[in-house]
Amino acid sequence: MMRQEQDNRLGNLPMLDFTAHEAAALYLAFNLILLFLLAYKTAKARQVTGISLGHGDNEDMMRAMRIHANFTEYAPLPLLGLFSLAAMGAPVLLVHILGGVFTLARYAHGFGFTAPEGQRPMGRFYGTIFTGLVLIVEALALLYFVFVG
């Protein structure tokens, strides 16, 4: 498809002018900012609670630590996957969709841990669901590009 036709069909989205590697780098940058923000929240919780190491059986400290740790557990491989897809020639739109959904899911998870008493934290819930969805779709996309090309 000619570039002009693609621009008209997709509404001339400037982010589609990125290379797949640039798109992957964009989502890496957004996730690095999130990592910093979550680390800052954990440090702030340490300052407020006076707990310099561990969680001291303090629920707020445990929550801050788990949110930060959860991000560091889940973020590296999907972000590496974006660069792998880019290296294998995946369409930039696929990198944007996977990177965008993953990034929004991680922000929702990281900042969605609060809810009224007796209610499920919806940011955490949807963040978890969409993170899992991206993991599965990205794995399948990687397998597709490895075996089919």
Domain of residue 95, CATH code: 1.20.120.550
Nearest 5°: CA angle at 119, between 114 and 123? Answer: 45
Q: Answer yes or no: is 102 within a domain.
A: yes
Total of domains in the chain: 1
The answer to whether 98 touches 138, Cβ cutoff 8 Å, is yes
Domain encompassing residue 127: 18-147
Q: Answer yes or no: is 11 within a domain.
A: no
Q: Answer yes or no: is 10 within a domain.
A: no
The span from the first CA to the last CA of the chain, in angstroms, equals 19
Residue-wise pLDDT tens digits, 26-69:
999 999 999 999 999 999 988 888 877 888 888 888 888 999 99
Q: Answer yes or no: is 6 within a domain.
A: no
What does pTM read for this prediction?
A: 0.86
